[in-house]
Structure 1
Amino acid sequence: MSPIKTCVLGVGLSGLTFHVPFLLALPELFELYAVLERNPKSPGGKVKERFGVDVKIHKSFEDVLKDEAIELVIVGTPNATHYGFVKGSLEAGKHVLVDKPAVPSSAEASELGALANSKGLVLYAYQNRRWDSDFLALRRLLSEPRSSPASLGDIVEFESHFDRYRNDLKNSWKKEDQPGAGQVYDLGAHLIDQVVVLFGRPASVTGFIANVRGLGNQNVDDSFTIILQYPANKSQKLSLTVILRAHILSVRSPQLRYIVRGSKGTFVKYGLDVQEDQLKIMPDPKGIFTQSFGREPDEISGTIDTIDSNGIVKQQPWPTLEKGAYVELFRNLAAAIRTGAETAVNWEEVIAQLEIIELAHASSKEGRTINLTPSA
């Protein structure tokens, strides 16, 4: 297969950290052919400055659309611009990988999904945290057979956090009152996506969303708690409550990541996947293939408390054996484009994620729990 000629829209944190390194590290799958950089401050632009690689620089989106060599467009621009860039790229016959949140509304996501299908194009959401090391370790734990000493039994409560401490307001587009702004769209998109992967579509949504610091535009949230309810059914014998939280004034190191309670045990995990921090300072994209990349420190591995046959609570480690593997998203993307392989991130899941975000905002504003209609 010939490498997929790719153009990255946006060479800020997203482009230079989450996309360009993987494109350069996988030359057999991708060719970093061009970037959209409206005002490059050097002849080679930011990619040349950071990685020493020459790429074609387009200074307008219109030039990107006219460039027939481009097969794949990666959208790593501010959230409010996603819809226009994705739609324009699809209409020009180009595959698209778009950062989360894919677009600000579920209606827009449905429209773009239908457009991609009508043109036979791949539309892929960059939900990279499905390949976080601790999430992979958690999925392994939840797949343990009930006879296993590590089994948590029936899951009754799932708590997932992206807390942090930031008591200042950085000059960022994420703080502007635009479509897709705020922490629910930013960090919540990751938390909700992981839950949809694990448990599917919830029955109801309750949101508590606020700007707790009182900084910047008061319509732009900086913290949230979202509660999702899953009733008991054939596959889930007991009802399940999901609590998703991101608080901006959480003084803790390391921060809490997961608490998962089951009928037989509880899993607790602190600390975050290390890939983002490693990618920010990585001088050579091939570093993603080293043994240390994506490998979390042993000291933040999770623990399990379970009850044995004598009713005694025992604690055991649940080490994160898995390496974080954002690279697998790009391998799957290439396979979807070149061979028609199934995408690991299903677009219907993306639509469900956005519906939950919308209902969480409505719930918080109206002060009530809102039922989620079943999928068609």
Structure 2
Amino acid sequence: MGEVLRVALVGYGLAGRVFHAPLIRATPGFALHTVVSSDAGKVHADLPDARVEADPQTAFDDPAIDLVVIASPNATHAPLAIAALQAGKHVVVDKPFAIDLREALEVAAAARASGRLLGVFHNRRWDADFLALRTLVEAGTLGDIAEVHSHFDRFRPTVPDRWRDRAGPGAGLWLDLGPHLVDQALQLFGVPDAVQADIAIQRTGAVVDDYFHVVLRYPRLRVILHAGALVPGASLRFAVHGSGGSWFKHGLDPQETALRDGAVPGCDGWGVDPAPGRLLRVDADGTLHDAPSPAPAGDYRVFYAGIRDAICESAAPPVTLDEALDVMRVLQASTDSANGHVVALT
């Protein structure tokens, strides 16, 4: 391997500790040089040799740093990204890369002015179940697709004391899970003509949204993005229906659980889904029957490998700036449609 990119990771909460630090360390071509955190003891418990800084600007001004990865609370994403870009660093931002479209356009302008890479961590493009669905869609296996249900339900009746569940900019379930589901839909079907959203608070004691039901409207296709925090026994991830059959997927991609359990990305069995989807095909005579479903392994390291190649070899980035902005446009339109009225995008 040639050039090694030295990385400053800003934030060592769930996103930084569970996702970014392990993936950076497991992808060839990166060295985790600095962690920006107010809790050096927490960082050193996992990374005893890491340099820890309390002030992100110190890392941005460090000439040794090539890439800044921002995994701090959502409301800080845009100002930190702009500061890092203005300091001449390449930047990766966890999703959403801003709290609204106005901020997103400001970050995009800063990226273009700096001439540096801005990557947004839409890691769930490399979920095993999404890769399987993408294979089916691109092969035309399901015929003309009319209806897609993309669920990310949970049962968390007690409201936790964390920034995502406190009142303030960037909080709530829609900006937490919505970017994943929107990005996946746009990857398969492009930007919809319009959106219609129901975003609500359901749990006792909750102060930010913990439920959403968003419909992406295409000429005939409807894509339903749904998540709630009061769904015991939740297991449906995808239900996709077309003229050639249906595909059902229950259970989540295994990578997040593996990362939480401390598994090393790329270890034996990494990203292999223990519960692949069920494919039902319709024969010419209308008979419905089971057929083999694709079952690719997921691998979030592909995102970071793509970032490395974009910086070092001028390859296309794994998530383009235009793609990231399209996600923000749909997120914004859905927020604007939260009382249920339709917001046109085209």
What TM-score, normalized to structure 2?
0.96
Structure 2 equivalent of residue 76 of structure 1: 71
**Candidates 298, 312, 325, aligned match of 2:287:** 312
| Match for residue 282 of structure 1 among 256, 262, 265 | 262
Amino acid at match of 1:50: D
In the alignment, does 2:205 pair up with 1:215?
A: yes
Give the Cα–Cα distance (whole angstroms) in 2 for the partners of residues 9 and 201 of structure 1.
31
Q: Map 1:286-305; keep pairs closer than 5 Å.
A: 287-297=264-274, 300-305=275-280
> Which residue type is aligned with residue 209 of structure 1?
I
Counterpart of 2:129? 134
Deviations 1:159-202 (A, max 9, x none): 10000101001110001222221111101110001001111110
CA distance in 2, matches of 1:338, 1:178: 38
1:267 equivalent in structure 2? 247
Gaps of 5+ in 2: none
Residue type of the alignment partner of 1:257: R
- SS of residue matched to 1:288: coil
2:4 is aligned to 3
Partner of 1:63: 58
4+ aligned runs moved over 6 Å, structure 1 = none
Alpha-carbon shift at residue 349 of structure 1 (Å): 1.6
Does structure 2 conserve the Cα–Cα contact (< 8 Å) formed by 1:175 and 1:182? yes
| Contact 1:207–1:363 (Cα < 8 Å) also in 2 | yes
2:49 aligned to which of 54, 67, 71: 54
- Note the aligned Cα RMSD (angstroms): 1.4
Q: Compute the displacement of 1:264 (Å).
A: 1.6
Amino acid at match of 2:271: G
Post-superposition Cα deviations, 1:30-81, rounded to whole Å, max 9, x if no partner, equal 111101012323xxx51x3124x40111111221222121111100000011
- 2:298 corresponds in structure 1 to 324
Greater Cα offset, 82-91 or 59-68:
59-68
Partner of 2:93: 98
* Residue 112 (structure 2) pairs with residue 108 (structure 1): no
* Equivalent pair of 1:82/1:103 in contact (CA under 8 Å): yes
1:197 and 2:187 matched: yes
Q: Which residue, out of 158, 177, 187, partners 2:167?
A: 177
**Superimposed CA distance per residue, residues 221-260 of structure 1 (whole angstroms, 9 cap, x where no aligned partner):** 00100001111xxxxxxx111100001111225x100011
Deviation track 1:255-276 (CA, whole Å, cap 9, x = no partner) reads 1000111012111110000101
Q: Does 1:18 align with 2:14?
A: no
Cα shift at 1:319 = 4.4
Instruction: Judge conservation of contact 2:137–2:188 (CA < 8 Å) in 1.
Output: no
8 Å contact 1:162–1:187 — kept in the other structure?
yes
Structure-1 residue corresponding to 2:153: 163
Asked whether the equivalents of residues 301 and 317 of structure 1 are also in contact (C-alpha less than 8 Å), the reply is no
- Which blocks of at least 5 consecutive residues in structure 1 are unaligned? 146-150, 232-238
C-alpha contact (below 8 Å) 1:228/1:241 kept by paired residues: yes
Contact residue 116 and residue 122 of structure 1 kept, 8 A: yes
Shift of 1:317: 4.0
Work out the CA distance in 2 between the residues paired with 1:310 and 1:62.
66
3-state SS of the aligned residue for 2:341?
coil
TM-score calculated relative to the size of structure 1: 0.89
1:186 is aligned, of 169, 173, 176, to 176
2-structure distance, mates of 1:215, 1:354: 28
In the other structure, the counterpart of 2:236 is 256
Tell me, in whole angstroms, the C-alpha distance in 2 between the residues paired with 1:319 and 1:69. Answer: 44
1:163–1:245 CA contact under 8 A, matched in 2: yes
Q: Is the 8 A contact 1:9 1:35 kept in 2?
A: yes
Contact 2:7 2:33 in 1 (8 A): yes
CA distance in 2, matches of 1:139, 1:39: 41
Q: Distance in 2 between matches of 1:35 and 1:162?
A: 30
Equivalent residue, structure 2, for 1:246:
227
**Is 1:370 paired with 2:340?**
no
CA contact (8 A) 1:165 1:248 kept: yes
Could you tell me which amino acid in structure 1 is paired with residue 46 of structure 2?
A: R
1:112 Cα deviation after fit:
1.5
What do residues 95-115 of structure 1 show as CA deviations (whole Å, max 9, x unaligned)?
110000111111221221122
Give distance in 1, aligned partners of 2:233 and 2:14: 25
Is 2:9 the partner of 1:35? no
**Secondary structure of 1:101 counterpart:** coil
Q: 1:192, 1:353 within 8 Å by CA — same for their partners in 2?
A: yes
CA contact (8 A) 1:17 1:280 kept: yes
